[in-house]
Every structure is written in C-alpha cells, then in structure tokens.
C-alpha cells in the first residue's frame, strides 16, 4: 500500500508541475496565436513616404543699384572668355570670334579712333600695339579702350555721342595680336594727351567690373577705383612696363670710293 501511495503522489507532482509551467487559460488549450508574431520594427511597406513641405517659388530680386550709370559687357552676342588676373598690364584680353560686336560699355563720347593698323614687328612701337582701336569717355568720367579691332563702325569718330551697348567696331587681331586668335583688348583708365599712350592702354584692373556686367549687375562702376588709382600715381605717370619698341635696324655701312664723275687731276 505504501508503494501505491508513493506512486500516486509522484504522478500528482508531475501533473502539478506541468500545469504551473503551461500558459494561463483553459486547461489543455494553448493561449498562443497560431499566426506569425508581430515584428518590433514596422516593415517598409507600412512606412509612410516623407512629405515635402510646399512653398512658393523663390523671389528673384534685382541686383542692388550701386551707381547712377548703366553698363554693358563690351562684347555682345558672342561666347567669350577672359583672364581675371594681372599678367603685365592692368587690362584684359576678351577672347571672342572674329567679327563679334565691340560695344560701348557705357554712354559717353568717342574720344580717339584709329582705323589704321600701323603696328609692325620690326619696330613694335608701343603706341601702335593696340592696332585699330576706339576710346570712349564715359558719362562716369572714365575712359574705356577697345583695341585689336578688325574694323571700326561707320560714323564712329571723335566727338560722336554713343549709348551703352552701341556697336563701335568688330573684334579682330590687329596690332600686335596678328599672330593670335581674334580678341578684344579692353582697358579702363582716364583721359590723357595722346602722347601719353601708355595711360590709355589701361590703369585699372577691369575683371571685377566685367564679371558684374556679364552676371547682370549693370550699375557696378569703376569710377571710384579709377579716381583712387589716379590720385595714387598721378594724372600723368611715367611709363613703367613695355615702354620701348625695338631699335631701328642698322643701316649697312657705305664705303666711299672715287667718284667717276670727277676726273683725277693728279698732284
């Protein structure tokens, strides 16, 4: 009897242990779901796409007006490139196709016109290096030069009034640019007598103004910079760069023999 009682006690202990370890619920019925368990991270199909906030298009404001003058880029209607650093002289070379329009950068009066290409490599005279050129004294008091022209527009002569953007000539390679591609020699300076030709060829670095006129700020003026440079160096400074041309070629020495037209009378 004791052994039977012990057996029943062992079986009861096993059943009690199984009942305690099973999930709570109706006896013999599992409380776990038969479907897949939900994931802790939502799937990509359930993530909402980001919604960009709506806003009006940006408002385009005109560039600030920094002077009462209106300027135009000096080459019109053509693809151009130009240097933005000082090489030797404070001027720039605007590379463009031959025949492109050289236009007045600002309203003013034509001051000098040279329609003859006098430059020669044998002499390399400084006053002739720009070849065919036109200078304009702007209403802003600044002098502008466009050189290496292929031609000067008909009717452009000293004293003629011009408007900003008016055609003055055509891009070429006259002067000492004859062995290069067509380009416009562009310079900013002040008025001086023609014999001071080194002043007209450029005294103010021009590329910041070209950048502004090209990018759409037509009121950025070199007037203040020109006045500052002129005050610093004087109105008629001496030439300091590329001043002298080449010396004239030496003439062959002539020997003087007896003149056959004069008879030798002896002693």
Residues 91-110, mean pLDDT to the nearest whole number: 98
Q: What is the mean pLDDT of the chain?
A: 83
| 91: pLDDT strictly greater than 50 | yes
Q: Of all residues in the chain, what percent carry a pLDDT higher than 70?
A: 72
Level-2 CATH architecture, domain 75-229: Distorted Sandwich (2.70)
| 251: pLDDT strictly greater than 80 | no
**CB-CB neighbours of 48 under 10 Å:** 6
Two structure tokens written together for 83: 């240097």
Output the pLDDT for position 40: 55
Two structure tokens written together for 204: 């103010």
Output the pLDDT for position 244: 85
Three-state helix/strand/coil letters over 36-67: CCCCCCCCHHHCCCCCCCCCCCCCCCCCCCCC
| 62: pLDDT strictly greater than 80 | no
Q: Contact, 72 vs 210, CB < 8 A?
A: no
Output the pLDDT for position 66: 86
Q: Contact, 108 vs 137, CB < 8 A?
A: yes
177-190: pLDDT as tens digits: 999 999 999 999 99
End-to-end CA distance of the chain: 187
117-175: pLDDT as tens digits: 999 999 999 999 999 999 999 999 999 999 999 999 999 999 999 999 999 999 999 99
Two structure tokens written together for 220: 């950025």
| 61: pLDDT strictly greater than 80 | no
Residues 6+ apart with CB under 8 A from 75: 94, 96, 100, 101, 102, 103, 171, 184
pLDDT band at residue 267 using 50, 70 and 90 as cut-offs: very low
CA 143 to chain centre: 22
Q: Find where tokens 């010396």 sit.
A: 247
Q: Which range (45-54, 180-189, 200-209, 242-251) has the least confidence?
A: 45-54
Output the pLDDT for position 50: 72
| 45: pLDDT strictly greater than 60 | no
Say if pTM beats, i.e. exceeds, 0.85: no
Residues 6+ apart with CB under 8 A from 242: 88, 89, 126, 129
Q: Half-sphere exposure of residue 66, counting CA atoms within 13 Å on the CB side? A: 15
| 18: pLDDT strictly greater than 50 | no
| 32: pLDDT strictly greater than 60 | no
């Amino acid at each position: 009897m004791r052994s039977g009682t012990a057996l029943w006690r062992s079986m009861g202990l096993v059943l009690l242990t199984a009942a305690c370890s099973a999930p709570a619920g109706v006896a013999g019925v599992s409380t776990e779901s038969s479907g897949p368990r939900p994931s802790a991270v939502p799937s990509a199909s359930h993530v909402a796409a980001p919604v960009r906030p709506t806003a009006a298009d940006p408002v385009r404001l005109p560039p600030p007006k920094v002077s009462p003058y209106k300027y135009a880029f000096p080459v019109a209607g053509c693809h151009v490139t130009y240097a933005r650093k000082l090489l030797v002289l404070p001027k720039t070379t605007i590379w463009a196709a031959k025949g492109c329009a050289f236009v007045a950068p600002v309203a003013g009066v034509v001051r000098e016109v040279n329609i003859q290409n006098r430059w020669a490599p044998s002499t390399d005279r400084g006053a002739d290096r720009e070849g065919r050129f036109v200078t304009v004294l702007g209403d802003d008091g600044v002098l502008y030069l466009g050189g290496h022209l292929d031609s000067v527009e008909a009717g452009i002569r000293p004293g003629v009034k011009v408007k900003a953007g008016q055609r003055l000539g055509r891009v070429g390679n006259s002067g000492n640019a004859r062995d290069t591609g067509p380009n416009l020699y562009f310079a900013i300076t002040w008025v001086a007598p023609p014999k001071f030709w080194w002043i007209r060829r450029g005294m103010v670095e021009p590329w910041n103004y070209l950048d502004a006129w090209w990018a759409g700020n037509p009121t950025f003026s070199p007037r203040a910079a020109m006045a500052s440079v002129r005050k610093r160096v004087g109105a008629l400074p001496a030439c300091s760069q590329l001043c002298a041309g080449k010396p004239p070629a030496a003439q062959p020495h002539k020997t003087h023999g007896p003149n056959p037209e004069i008879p030798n009378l002896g002693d």
